Amino acid sequence: TSQRQPRTDGASPSEGLSIPPQLTRHLRDGRMVLFAGAGLSAMAGLPTWGPLLRRLIDVTASESMASAAMKGDLEQLLDAGKWLQIADHCKEQLGERYVSLLGEELRGDAVPIPDAHRLVMRLPFSAWVTTNYDKLLERAFAVERGGFAKTLTHVDADTLGTLLFDDVPYILKAHGDIDKPASIVFTSRDYRELIHGNAAFSMAFSAILLTRAVL
């Protein structure tokens, strides 16, 4: 499909913003990977960590009939930034409801695709790495580039290793995909297993950092 081409001549897209020449060079040469966090998904109205955990606390208190004191303790943890501890507790209390609740809050398959997502698919990145669970990047890929993106998570380390040598763009959802509950990294245990228990993914991710420019 035909693509709208980005400006790679070093011109600033907005007044007062200076783009380093090496950035545009790496982008033009197909050596740049975008790393996107929650701020990108927030543009579509999806919740960031704080509002998401507050929603989890409310649902946990309601559906597990937790005491007001327990809810107060969780809210204190939230104020103290102890987010993973809250996630641990809510996952344990909610059981299967935990997965469906995350899907309701984070899937992002019904909201309009933000301009920012469309833009990052028009630009010639070699890959897109995100810690977000939602479907917005895949939807933007389909609209701007046509077809379905090769989408991987940390459980697909073997496939990721082969893609590093193929000239094929892909989306790496480093903390999991909302449609693959077993891949979601959300609690302290999940993070420990990702960092310490997945050597293949750690090696593949290190290869990205060593062989690509990461924005």
Residue-wise pLDDT for 144-195, tens only, equals 999 999 999 999 988 887 887 787 899 999 999 999 999 999 999 898 888 7
Determine what percent of the chain is predicted with pLDDT higher than 70. 92
Angstrom CA distances, 196 to 27, 28, 41, stand at 32, 35, 27
Query: Tokens for 73?
Result: 């303790």
**Helix, strand, coil percent values for the chain (each to nearest 5):** 55, 10, 40
Q: What is the pLDDT of residues 13-55, one digit of tens each?
A: 456 778 889 999 999 999 999 999 999 999 999 999 899 999 9
pLDDT of residue 197: 87
The whole-chain average pLDDT of the chain stands at 87
What gap in Å lies between CA 16 and CA 110, rounded to an integer?
35
Looking at 51-55, 60-64, 107-111, which range is the least confident one?
Answer: 60-64
> Tokens 């740049």 identify what position?
32
Distance CA 130, CA 147 (A): 20
Instruction: Place 6 in a pLDDT band, splitting at 50, 70 and 90.
Output: very low
Q: Provide the whole-model pTM.
A: 0.84
CB count in 10 Å sphere of residue 207 = 14
Residues 49 and 141 sit within 8 Å (Cβ to Cβ): no
State the pLDDT at residue 175: 94
**Can you give the three-state secondary structure of 102-142, one letter per residue?**
HHHHHCCCCCCCCHHHHHHHHCCCCEEEECCCCCHHHHHHH
- Please state at what angle helix 83-94 crosses helix 96-106, rounded to 10 degrees: 120
Strand order in the sheet with 32-36: 150-153, 170-173, 127-130, 32-36, 213-214
Q: What is the pLDDT of residue 14?
A: 54
The pLDDT value given to residue 44? 95
CB 53 within 8 A of CB 102: no
